[in-house]
Structure formats: C-alpha cells, structure tokens
Amino acid sequence: MALPALLGMGALISFASRALEWLITRIASRFTSRLAGVLVWTTLYITLLVALASTFALIINSINASLPADLANGMGAVKPDNLEACIAAIYSSKVAMWVFQQKKQLIDWEQGRPVI
C-alpha cells in the first residue's frame, strides 16, 4: 500500500517545485526590470551632468582664451583658480542627492510603501 503513495510523491514534488520556480521567476523578473530602469536613468543622468560640467568649464576657459589680454587679466582677477573644482563639487552633490532619492524610492517600493 505504501508503494503507490510514494510513486505519487514524485509528481507532487515536481508540481510544487515548478510552482515555486514560477513564483521566484516572476518576482525576480519584476525586480530586475525595475532595477535595470533605475540604473539606466541613473547612468544617463550622471553622464548628462558630467557633460554639462565639462562643457561649462570649457566655455569658461574658451572665453578666457579668446578675450583681449586686459579683459582676460581682469576676469582672471575675479575668477578663482579652483572654479572648475567648485562646479564639479556642486554637481557631484546634486548627483549624490539624486542617487540617494532613487535608492530610497527603490527601498520603499520593495517594502510595499507608497512611492511619492
């Protein structure tokens, strides 16, 4: 009597493992698609900010190079030597704040809290 019961256990275990596999696959695919979207937007945003900061620094240096000597000296007296570093620090802090906001939204989304 025990042998037919054991033969049915294989089918039951197979069904349970397939159901568990399907559930884990669904959860993982939703999580990875959300995470991939966040990573793409983060990369795009950081790339745009780096491009904006370098463009701004190049514009300032080009204006300095193309000005007449007296005006360039006057602008050099007003512009600090570390202007590019200051601009980079400002943009880096903006990027850091944005990344932390995205991280908080992702954690809230995983925990089921409403994401604002």
Q: Which pLDDT band holds residue 1 (cuts at 50, 70, 90)? A: very low
Q: What is the pLDDT of residues 28-78, one digit of tens each?
A: 887 787 778 778 888 887 787 778 777 877 877 777 778 788 887 887 788
Task: Taking each helix axis as running N to C, give the angle between helix 69-78 and helix 2-66, from 0 to 180 degrees, rounded to the nearest 10.
Answer: 130
Q: Given this model, what pLDDT does residue 34 score? A: 76
Q: Given this model, what pLDDT does residue 4 score? A: 60
- Prediction pTM value: 0.47
Query: DSSP per residue over 30-69, as a string?
Result: HHHHHHHHHHHHHHHHHHHHHHHHHHHHHHHHHHHHHS-H
